[in-house]
Structure 1
């Protein structure tokens, strides 16, 4: 037996919830294309995203710790893959479209510049008066304009639903106005976009805590007053003594499991109380349906505050953030002062997008490693240009 696109679409029609988006009901692509025989529209989108240059670059872009600080910390790529895994787990339980969720998850951080949120903040500051910089909007620009892989159109020509999921991506870490031409801003993201948003948040909490403990920037004793930490210790039967690598793995694994289970139960209970006949019905609700229970939401807020105070504001992380701001600022300013330092491909982009935006796009596409090497080439007199 062979699985064809039509068979996949039939399976979706039978197995997905009424509020889930079916690939056969997609609003389509900006530029018309013939459908493929053995992949659905959302499966093709996922595959196109995986093969982009922007996706490969995520391997060397900062999550919390810059790449050279250790081989075992999360990068923007491993974070993205973990978000996609959590998204698929939630999708299966909530009868949503796994392929659509995976495509949104894999694309949600394509626009992140080098050095994580510090790089984003300084680029936004440098671009004031020229449209600013936001990694979510940059992700959208990458898939619709900047990736040049097809002769017939710019970008990846993704389906409307994947593009909408990118546009309406929001978490507590990067809340923004969901605005883009051609999308109804009065409607919320669909169930798949909401699951992708929640998956991003769950991954941040669990994996940043994991990396903080692994690095020694967070000591287990610092967490003793947190309700969620007490619950985790009790759930694995750990008495708080002799913290080991295995205990850390157990705790993070248990944390992810608790978070996922809670979202499934809380979201399921909310959906059971609604009469949703279509994805459009869900998007017109005045609130998100993908949610935590009130109890775990309170615990998560406490954990997020702790991570901000004790990890993201740790002096070692702050020092690297300040360095990153210096690197990015000096790169931007020297390119502005003398654009002839830029390679020919960037000059072509400047001709179409303007000096500031062309330079911003060039820097945003850099990995941490390339940005540091470029800084050395430009400012170290003993480095060859």
Structure 2
């Protein structure tokens, strides 16, 4: 239930770009969340890279599972402050809709390729996805989300200082007040994003074998969580483990195996990650509560026009969070095995862009017609960027083979 005076208020909503009758059963924010969940862009997140490319394993996080984890953390924090959980969840679920295949490697390649034609940014592309590219309704393009959800989507990381190209044209017609902060709900989604990916990237890094638990003993917050997890593990009686209880019905004594050792390591890893997330969330709740007392906001606009973000880590935790990020960059994201995949992913995206950009007649139906009717070269290149950004990892690899390998049917 929404109780805080600074929460977004459905009764004061600025509405939708295209008028629609109100839902008799759902708030505007619930309707926005549901439209995001049912969108084609959201479904495609299932096969888009977080860190590890889709074919590297079934149990690594994808953009979809990441978005679900962000939404869970953000919604829990919103409930703590009496903010609106539904719009928090809608923004969290939608925040990565603009990501390319192959994660940040794909974005880097597409951003570089699009430099002469207005650039590429996944936050702007997420707004483009929900306002232009989704085509589900007879009356309009996009999902026709509320002003508040669109504002939160494009500004969840703070005011947008550099506005050009498509974003400039869009906001000239639909002013999202890019110079201000977003609502408390959007700020919660932004910090939940940091918390989720630090927790699950550490988890996936260890699961992949690129990191070990011993690598983490000097990382702030992480080391404390690991130490406590190990202390708890050492205080428990031995847990006899057999594969799925094999032998228990015959009275055979449990046997020690590599499977049982791995299971113990998994439990230790999960306990550590759980404690990392708890520490980060607890700090955000404590510091944000202090910030709210200091600001004493009486409306969502008071949050938007504050001098700095209201949702934040404490200074000490902010520094620790930056050190966790630095550790992940140095030891996981720039690990030589990840860099090899990154190199190949950038090559695929760059070659697709060059091929389709110089020969838009190779685009499939629908996309080709859009390119043919574009006003200029920048418009044609934007259509190609939209097409590439819409791809999943595996579709991008298949399309690259179709366009470069004579043995693969076009």
Q: TM-score, normalised by structure 2?
A: 0.86
Q: Residue 192 of structure 1: which of 179, 185, 192 is its match? A: 185
Aligned 1:235-250 pairs, distance under 5 A: 235-238=228-231, 244-250=265-271
- Aligned pair 1:373/2:384, yes or no? no
Whether contact under 8 Å (2:233, 2:268) holds in the other structure is: no
Larger Rg: 2
Provide the C-alpha distance between the structure 2 equivalents of 1:48 and 1:352, rounded to a whole number of angstroms. 29
Give the structure 1 partner of residue 204 of structure 2: 211
Residues 178, 161 of structure 1: alpha-carbon distance in 2 compared, 3 angstrom cutoff: farther
Q: Residue 227 of structure 1: which of 204, 217, 220 is its match? A: 220
Whether contact under 8 Å (1:61, 1:116) holds in the other structure is: yes
Q: Per-residue CA shift, 1:241-275, capped at 9, x if unaligned? A: 98701100100111111111111111112212222
How far off its partner does 1:204 sit?
A: 1.3
Give the structure 2 partner of residue 362 of structure 1: 387
Residues 286, 113 of structure 1: alpha-carbon distance in 2 compared, 3 angstrom cutoff: same
Q: Residue 306 of structure 1: which of 327, 332, 353 is its match? A: 327
Aligned 1:199-348 pairs, distance under 5 A: 199-238=192-231, 244-348=265-369
Q: Secondary structure at the match of 2:295?
A: coil
Residues 372, 382 of structure 1: alpha-carbon distance in 2 compared, 3 angstrom cutoff: same
How far off its partner does 1:317 sit?
A: 0.7
Q: Could you list the runs of 5+ residues in structure 2 that have no partner in the other structure?
A: 235-260
Provide the C-alpha distance between the structure 2 equivalents of 1:307 and 1:177, rounded to a whole number of angstroms. 28
How far off its partner does 1:351 sit?
A: 3.4
- Aligned pair 1:113/2:100, yes or no? yes
Q: Per-residue CA shift, 1:206-248, capped at 9, x if unaligned? A: 1111110110111112111123233113333438998701100
Provide the C-alpha distance between the structure 2 equivalents of 1:184 and 1:176, rounded to a whole number of angstroms. 9
CA RMSD, aligned part only? 1.8
Give the structure 2 partner of residue 3 of structure 1: none
Provide the C-alpha distance between the structure 1 equivalents of 2:361 and 2:301, rounded to a whole number of angstroms. 50
Q: Residue 53 of structure 2: which of 39, 52, 66 is its match? A: 66
Provide the C-alpha distance between the structure 2 equivalents of 1:292 and 1:373, rounded to a whole number of angstroms. 42
Residues 274, 339 of structure 1: alpha-carbon distance in 2 compared, 3 angstrom cutoff: closer
Provide the C-alpha distance between the structure 2 equivalents of 1:236 and 1:319, rounded to a whole number of angstroms. 33
Give the structure 2 partner of residue 4 of structure 1: none
How far off its partner does 1:32 sit?
A: 0.7
How far off its partner does 1:64 sit?
A: 0.2
Provide the C-alpha distance between the structure 2 equivalents of 1:238 and 1:324, rounded to a whole number of angstroms. 41
Whether contact under 8 Å (1:178, 1:185) holds in the other structure is: no
Aligned 1:76-95 pairs, distance under 5 A: 76-95=63-82
Provide the C-alpha distance between the structure 1 equivalents of 2:228 and 2:81, rounded to a whole number of angstroms. 25
Deviates more, 1:120-129 or 1:230-239: 230-239
Provide the C-alpha distance between the structure 2 equivalents of 1:134 and 1:27, rounded to a whole number of angstroms. 26
Whether contact under 8 Å (2:160, 2:179) holds in the other structure is: no
Whether contact under 8 Å (1:168, 1:178) holds in the other structure is: no
Q: How many residues align?
A: 369
Provide the C-alpha distance between the structure 2 equivalents of 1:352 and 1:138, rounded to a whole number of angstroms. 21
Residues 379, 240 of structure 1: alpha-carbon distance in 2 compared, 3 angstrom cutoff: farther
Provide the C-alpha distance between the structure 2 equivalents of 1:204 and 1:379, rounded to a whole number of angstroms. 35
Q: Secondary structure at the match of 2:6?
A: coil
Provide the C-alpha distance between the structure 1 equivalents of 2:356 and 2:229, rounded to a whole number of angstroms. 54
Q: Per-residue CA shift, 1:99-122, capped at 9, x if unaligned? A: 010110111100101000010111
Whether contact under 8 Å (1:167, 1:178) holds in the other structure is: no
Q: Could you list the runs of 5+ residues in structure 1 that have no partner in the other structure?
A: 1-10
How far off its partner does 1:341 sit?
A: 1.7
